[in-house]
Structures are given as C-alpha cells and as structure tokens.
C-alpha cells in the first residue's frame, strides 16, 4: 500500500467507524514510515470533521459519531507514544478536564499529548468534570495552569461557572486558566474570565509555556514535527462547519 492509500483508508474507515481496520491501517502506516502527525492531521482529524458535517446535515446520528470517535481513539493509542516525547515532565503542572455536561474528549486528549510532549505533567480529570472537581484538583495538585475543554454551546457556560468556583475557593489568583474546544472563541474565553484561549493542541502547548514564562525552549523531535504539521494543516483541520 502506498502512503496515499493508507491515508485514504484511514480517512474513509474512520468516517465509517471501522475501529479494527483503522488500528490496522495506523500500524501499517507506522510500518511504512508514515509520520504519525501526517496520519493525524491528514486523515484522522479531517475524518472527524467530515463526520461532524454529516451529523449537521442529518446524514449521521450519534451512534455513527460514537463509532468514528472510537476508531480515532484506537489509532491514538498507537500514535500517542510517538507524538508525546517521553521526557522530563518538569516544566509545570497542568490540570485538564472536559467541563460538566460534556463528554467530548478527543480534542482534550490531543492537547494533553502536546502538553506532555512540551514538558508539562498533565493531570487529566476526564470528562463531565464538575466545578467542585476542578476546585478539589487545584487544591490537591497546585497546578500552574487549569485547562477546560467544551465542545457544546450548551456546556461552554461551565467555563464561567468553574472560574467563579475557583474564585470562591480563593484559588483563582493561584492558577492560569486556559479554555478551548470546537465552538469556543477568544472573545468568549475573555468574557468567561479565562486567561487564554487556543484553537488547537500545538498552540495550547506553546501558550502554556508562555503563560508560565517558559518561552525560550523550542519544541524538539516529534513535537516540533507535530507543530509544523498543525500549521500546515490548519485549513484542513478547521473547516467552517464545526
Ligand atoms: C466525536 C463527536 C462526538 C462523540 C464524542 C466522543 C468523544 N469521546 O469525544 C459523541 C458521539 C459522544 C458525541 C456526542 C454529542 N455530540 Co458531538 N461531536 C463529535 C464530533 C464529530 C467530533 C469532535 C471531535 O472530537 N473533534 C476532533 C477534535 C480534535 O476537535 P478540535 O476542535 O480540532 O480540537 C482542538 C481544539 O478544540 C482545542 N481544544 C480542545 N479542548 C481544549 C482545551 C483547552 C484548554 C484548549 C486551550 C484547547 C482545546 O485543541 C484540540 C486539539 O487540536 C463533533 C464535530 C466537530 N466538527 O467538532 C461533534 C459535535 C461537537 N457534537 C455535537 C453534538 C450536538 C453532540 C450531542 C449533543 C449529540 C446528541 N444529540 O446527543 C452529544 C453531546 C454529548 C455530551 N453531553 O457531551 C455538535 C455540537 C454543536 C454545538 N455547537 O453545540 C458537533 C459540533 C457536531 C455538529 N456539527 O453538530 N459527539
């Protein structure tokens, strides 16, 4: 199989939610020395965008979205170790979670991979994370940054609610707050009281370093490739039909 055939197979079969095939193709891609970032940004993410488009048109329903997400997650289990350089996680602590009422976690997980690759220790609170759980985690782990992910217009208000809970607990001044997710904008982030918004995983890692004053070191290895790939693929990874 050529690289293009593998990428096309990954795209088509992620849309169809064929998890076993997608994992096999991902392994074939790796065996054929396809870059993990190429598989991610040229096939897997565009496939999810297409699934979202079909859902919006009424051609796909929740079960189809779920199958595609599962297929993508299977591929990510193979790609993750290659995307996140396993090094010293000493740059700072990052508590990350998807907000209450929201179960979308692929975007959050990609951010986690990039943050780990950039040198952060990531404490992942998972999905459907209540403000109380964020507050407890900040108290317990004393992170430098808290990240909140939301993929629904109906759950985005949880940013503000969670930030208010941090204020009430006297913790807001002790952490930087970053927010993101498909429907989120920089303007919305500001209104919610966050310190920063990022549209994708590579800029999240860059911004996180900036927020803690660690702007000097450039990403290396797989992470640098990932950053480059994201920049090249912006037009594919972010179509208007989110
Ligand atoms: C897969 C999927 C699902 C899966 C999620 C599985 C999973 N484990 O995540 C399932 C099937 C469960 C699902 C359910 C629903 N979904 Co859905 N889903 C999607 C889909 C197709 C892909 C989402 C995704 O993972 N994208 C890939 C990632 C990588 O996206 P990304 O935005 O590029 O991510 C980057 C940034 O957002 C940023 N980022 C993300 N998090 C963070 C956090 C921080 C701190 C920072 C700085 C940055 C950051 O970095 C990421 C990486 O580069 C989208 C369509 C779309 N176009 O997004 C719909 C979509 C998000 N879903 C939608 C809807 C409506 C639903 C349901 C309400 C459907 C229903 N009727 O039940 C439910 C809600 C369930 C719930 N309570 O959460 C709508 C949301 C509309 C809206 N604006 O509110 C969308 C947009 C589909 C559509 N076009 O209508 N969904």
Percentage of residues in the chain having pLDDT higher than 70: 86
**Cα-to-centroid distance, 4 and ligand 1 (Å):** 27
pLDDT tens across 189-199, in order?
A: 999 999 999 99
Cα dist from 230 to 8, 71, 207, whole Å:
19, 21, 15
| Residue 202 beta carbon below 6 angstroms from any ligand 1 atom | no
Nearest CA to ligand 1 atom 64: 152
| Ligand 1 proximity of 11 Cβ (cutoff 6 Å) | no
Q: Which architecture does CATH list for 3-85+222-237?
A: Orthogonal Bundle (1.10)
pTM of the model: 0.86
The answer to whether residue 115 scores a pLDDT higher than 80 is: yes
| CA 161 to ligand 1 centroid distance, Å | 20
Task: Identify which has the larger pLDDT, 194 or 82.
Answer: 194
Ligand 1, atom 85: closest residue by C-alpha = 52
CB of residue 200 inside a 6 A radius of ligand 1: yes
Rounded Cα–Cα distance for residues 240 and 242 (Å): 6
Measured at the CA of 82, the angle between CA 19 and CA 178, to 5 degrees, comes to: 90
State pLDDT tens for residues 3-42: 999 999 999 999 999 999 999 999 999 999 999 989 999 9
Give yes or no for residue 204 CB within 6 A of ligand 1.
yes
Q: Which residue's C-alpha comes closest to atom 49 of ligand 1?
A: 180
Ligand 1 atom closest to 196 (CA): 47
pLDDT-based confidence at 87, cuts 50/70/90?
Answer: low
Domain ranges of the chain: 3-85+222-237, 92-215
Rounded to a whole number, what is the distance in angstroms from the first to the last CA of the chain?
32
Query: In CATH, what class is 92-215?
Result: alpha beta
Compute the distance from residue 5 Cα to the ligand 1 centre, in Å. Answer: 27
């Amino acid at each position: 199989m050529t690289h293009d055939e593998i990428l096309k197979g990954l795209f088509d079969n992620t849309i169809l939610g064929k998890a076993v095939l997608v994992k096999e193709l991902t392994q074939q891609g790796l065996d054929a020395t396809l870059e993990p970032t190429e598989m991610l940004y040229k096939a897997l993410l565009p496939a999810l965008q297409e699934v979202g488009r079909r859902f919006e048109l009424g051609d796909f329903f929740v079960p189809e979205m779920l199958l595609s997400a599962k297929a993508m997650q299977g591929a990510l289990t193979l790609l993750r170790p290659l995307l996140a350089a396993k090094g010293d996680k000493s740059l700072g602590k990052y508590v990350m979670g998807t907000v209450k009422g929201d179960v979308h976690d692929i975007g959050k997980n990609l951010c986690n991979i990039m943050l780990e690759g950039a040198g952060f220790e990531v404490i992942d609170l998972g999905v459907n994370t209540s403000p109380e759980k964020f507050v407890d985690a900040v108290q317990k782990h004393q992170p430098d940054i808290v990240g909140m992910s939301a993929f629904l217009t109906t759950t985005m208000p949880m940013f503000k609610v969670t930030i208010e809970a941090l204020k009430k607990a006297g913790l807001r001044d002790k952490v930087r707050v970053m927010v993101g997710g498909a429907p989120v904008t920089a303007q919305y982030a500001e209104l919610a009281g966050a310190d920063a918004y990022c549209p994708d995983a590579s800029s999240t890692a860059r911004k996180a370093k900036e927020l803690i004053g660690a702007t000097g070191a450039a990403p290396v290895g797989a992470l640098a490739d990932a950053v480059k790939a994201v920049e090249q693929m912006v037009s594919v990874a972010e179509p208007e039909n989110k």
